Amino acid sequence: MLCKVEQKEVENISPTNVLPQTPYWGRLKDDQGFQPKGFEITVSKELLGFDEGGTTKVKDDLLVLIKYLNDNFCYAYVPYGPKLEPAFENQGLFLEELSERIKPNLPSNCIFIRYDLLWENQWAAEDEYFDANGNWQGPPEVNIQEMRVNYKTNNFNLRKSASDSLPKNTFFIDLTLKESELLANMRYNTRYSIRKAIKKDINVREYGLEGIEDWYQLYLETALRHDMPLQNVDFFENILTNQDNNSKGVSVKMLMADYQGEYLASMFLVLSHKRASYLYGASLPNNKMASYALQWESIKLAKEHGCTEYDMFGSAPNINDSHPLRGVHIYKKGFGGDLFHRMGCWDYPYQQQEYDLFRLQEISN
């Protein structure tokens, strides 16, 4: 057998750098209407496309979230999973085998499984998809993507999702570097802004639940200014209260920067195993460079915690003027990380007719 799937308790999922594959993420999503399920998968290296042969196997944990669309149907969602990454030419075969093996463990009315793949986008590894300035232009048309990903599959059943959930593009900062090296890797303007904020006596502090209302007011102002979908204050309380608070789990830091008692910028820094993630942020439009001081303090805090990498958790794929995340991209790029492009969401339908109806509704929304 090339792939074996066994259920396990969500709380027994092993610590991982991949935040959306932790028990913590399962608890968060449970509060948001998903039903988390845990699995242990055993996969032959042959299925992954390596040369060791089928007798050599690897194991990993998998968090799956069940979402009911109505009383009759649901779907399964795998946030940034599976973590095991096959060779490009075996990605479709691996997902097909995993989908079929996991199917008996899902509700019988599950119409498809959606993988939010954290793997490097195949087309980001090819020079022809970059322009003369080194900007990635994105993958080809969907039908071409599906042709390649379904290579070697038996059912040719993998579909590029109509939408993506978690960020497809992000910057990773190498935290094994010294602070002086991290600063040297930043753009001049970013270093200047950090130093200016420190000179202006911007203070960065960690807060618990006692500061959630101050956080929320800053978030609310930012969300309304940028016409973002609004979350309620309970959403952010859950981010703090669901954390593990131990060395093997997930730790959450709610940080706010102020000047003479006025809150100017804030963020949630989430520490999962050896990776830190900048999960949510907010700031006033004229924040006296506080957002730069806040990010720098978060990077240093992550290093002190023992993290080896820092995930900016979302950006534009390039600096195209028309992209809505262009400003976010430029800000995050300034801290000197490496841009990474993920594969995004892919579906494996179990009930084709119901899936097609769901897909039409998703496209129209």
The closest alpha carbon to 209, from 186, 242, 244, 187, belongs to 242
Among 21-30, 34-43, 227-236, 274-283, the minimum mean pLDDT is found in 227-236
- 3-state SS record for 40-53: EEEEEHHHHCCCCC
Q: 3-166+342-364 falls under which CATH superfamily?
A: Gcn5-related N-acetyltransferase (GNAT) (3.40.630.30)
Quote the radius of gyration of the chain (alpha carbons, Å): 21
Number of C-beta neighbours around residue 196 at 10 A: 14
pLDDT in tens, 252-261: 999 999 999 9
pLDDT in tens, 227-251: 888 999 999 999 999 999 776 789 9
Give whole-number Cα distances, 349 to 70, 111, 114, 156, 162, in Å: 17, 6, 9, 11, 13
Q: Answer whether 3-166+342-364 and 176-307 agree in fold.
A: yes
| Residue 321: pLDDT band with limits 50, 70, 90 | confident
Instruction: Give the predicted TM-score (pTM) of the model.
Output: 0.95
Domain boundaries, the chain: 3-166+342-364, 176-307
CATH fold of 176-307, please?
A: Aminopeptidase (3.40.630)
Answer whether residue 51 shows pLDDT above 80: no
